[in-house]
């Protein structure tokens, strides 16, 4: 059986390539070579009907995206998402590989537990997952001995995700173990005491908005809600800024690779720049929602997420950081919830199926980022950081994990259409430009619009 596929009539784009009117030949799940339109036509003519062909209809073929931060809620919280639905959402969003967070029930705190989820995704065959492991066992804040048994080849990244390791001595010990093993320490930087002080303010604001009617009384309730949100967001900005600076200092002492999750303030961007300039091994990610959205000042509804949607100045700072390379990659922080949980104030959005559109709209159309640079931020750089040297570009010999996108299609976001179980999106009803039309994993078509 011929194990080849020719994807033709496409524009080929990766971090260093932009070839219009071209084609790509897949053989055995890997990229064999890139071809001109003329060479592709000649090959099709020579092979007759024995060579499978996929007409790209003039659209853009890129390496599939790699997400360094997603929640699939499996095990224990599968009413929100599971490996199967998460992989379906990933394929629909053009993602071929995703790093999953360990905040499940039970917490993923061993290599053996991580491999269970990796194997589940492998059997399903829509996307590859890399299950991360918690920094402290079961998020207990003190125990790090389990890290001695972690192998980088299976678990290249450890994280406490939505928690912070409050004890700096424990965090330093964990970072030293990770440094010895070449494992990334990924930090959700948020001082837990400041975050706890902000939580009731957000809940009060949510209650006011949920009860606000139209008219003068409703306007007053929304004004009070905006006040409460402003107070909460001040605390949450301090929470991110102070925890970021602490973790940078600890990582410098430990000599580990520090990766900062969902950086969202101008202060943190500047802290990253200073650390990089000093030669520290530090990288960071930015989410599509922090790129495309700023927090409301007089809301009728507000979108709860950690870290929160920031000011317009902060939003522009993270955009600028991606443009100049201070921020290394884009990660979705896909965090699906049930409708009831969202109504009750659970933080997070479903983001896999809107990520490319938001980034393309905001960065390429809104800020003149070359599509090659967007490919670097969404594919090549995360592949490099995770030591996945077999993917992330269109080079011959790489895995044929590919996404076909229409960069001109405008569409209206409707959460109910998501493949994810989580239907909540802050982009509900918004028009975005750029759609995923097909996704290939190891050369196999796993999604088609």
Residues tagged active-site: 333
- Do β-strands 402-412 and 431-441 pair in parallel, antiparallel, or remain unpaired? antiparallel
C-alpha distance from residue 205 to each of 202, 227, 229 (Å): 5, 8, 6
Half-sphere exposure of 69 (CA within 13 A, CB side): 30
- What b/e readout covers 163-183, taking b as 16+ CB neighbours within 10 angstroms? bbbeeeebbbbbbbbbbebeb
Q: Cβ contacts of residue 352 below 8 Å, gap of 6+?
A: 67, 70, 86, 89, 90, 92, 93, 95, 332, 334, 420
List strand residue ranges (DSSP E) for 163-227, in order. Answer: 184-187
Q: Is residue 259 classed as helix, strand or coil in its secondary structure?
A: strand
- Largest Cα–Cα distance of the chain, in whole Å? 75
Distance CA 216, CA 235 (A): 29
Task: Judge contact between 99 and 70, C-beta under 8 A.
Answer: yes
C-alpha distance from residue 375 to each of 129, 318, 330, 411 (Å): 20, 17, 10, 21
CA angle 80, 85, 89 (to 5 degrees): 105
- Using only C-alpha atoms, what is the Rg of the chain? 22
List strand residue ranges (DSSP E) for 316-384, in order. Answer: 329-330
Task: Judge contact between 341 and 80, C-beta under 8 A.
Answer: yes
The position carrying tokens 């095990």 is 75
Distance CA 426, CA 300 (A): 13
Backbone angles phi, psi at 182, to 5 degrees: 70, 25
Q: Is residue 22 classed as helix, strand or coil in its secondary structure?
A: strand
Q: Is residue 307 reached through a cis peptide bond, with omega within 30 degrees of 0 on the bond before it?
A: yes
């Amino acid at each position: 059986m011929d194990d080849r596929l020719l994807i033709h009539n496409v524009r080929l784009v990766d971090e260093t390539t932009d070839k219009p009117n071209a084609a790509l030949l897949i053989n055995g799940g890997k990229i064999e070579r890139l071809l001109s339109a003329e060479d592709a036509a000649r090959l099709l003519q020579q092979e007759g009907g024995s060579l499978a062909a996929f007409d790209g209809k003039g659209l853009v073929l890129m390496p599939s995206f790699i997400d360094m931060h997603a929640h699939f809620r499996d095990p224990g919280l599968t009413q929100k998402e599971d490996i199967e639905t998460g992989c379906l959402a990933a394929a629909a969003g053009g993602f071929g590989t995703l790093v999953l967070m360990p905040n499940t029930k039970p917490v993923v705190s061993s290599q053996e537990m991580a491999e269970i989820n990796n194997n589940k995704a492998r059997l399903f065959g829509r996307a590859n997952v890399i299950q991360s492991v918690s920094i402290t066992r079961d998020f207990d804040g003190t125990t790090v001995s389990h890290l001695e048994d972690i192998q980088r080849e299976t678990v290249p990244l450890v994280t406490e995700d939505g928690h912070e390791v409050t004890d700096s001595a424990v965090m330093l010990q964990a970072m030293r173990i990770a440094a010895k093993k070449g494992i990334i320490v990924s930090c959700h930087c948020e001082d837990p005491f400041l975050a706890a002080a902000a939580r009731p303010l957000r809940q009060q604001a949510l209650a006011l908005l949920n009860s606000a009617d139209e008219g003068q009384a409703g306007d007053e309730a929304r004004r009070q809600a905006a006040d409460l949100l402003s107070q909460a967001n001040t605390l949450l900005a301090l929470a991110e800024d102070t925890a970021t600076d602490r973790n940078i200092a600890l990582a410098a002492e430990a000599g580990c690779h520090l990766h900062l999750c969902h950086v969202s303030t101008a202060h943190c961007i500047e802290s990253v720049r200073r650390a990089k300039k000093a030669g520290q091994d530090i990288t960071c990610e930015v989410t599509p929602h922090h790129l495309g959205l700023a927090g409301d000042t007089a809301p009728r509804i507000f979108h709860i997420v950690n870290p929160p949607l920031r000011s317009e100045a902060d939003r522009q700072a993270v955009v600028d950081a991606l443009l100049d390379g201070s921020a290394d990659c884009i990660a979705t922080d896909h965090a699906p919830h049930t409708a009831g949980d969202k109504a009750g104030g659970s933080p997070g959005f479903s983001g896999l199926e809107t990520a490319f559109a938001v980034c393309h709209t905001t960065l390429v159309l809104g800020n003149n980022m070359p599509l090659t640079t967007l490919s670097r931020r969404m594919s090549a750089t995360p592949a490099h950081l995770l030591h996945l040297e077999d993917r992330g570009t269109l080079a011959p010999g790489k895995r044929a994990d590919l996404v076909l996108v229409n960069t001109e299609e405008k569409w209206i976001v409707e959460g109910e259409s998501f493949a994810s179980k989580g239907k909540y999106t802050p982009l509900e009803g918004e028009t975005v430009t750029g759609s995923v039309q097909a996704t290939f994993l190891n050369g196999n078509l796993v999604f088609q619009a």
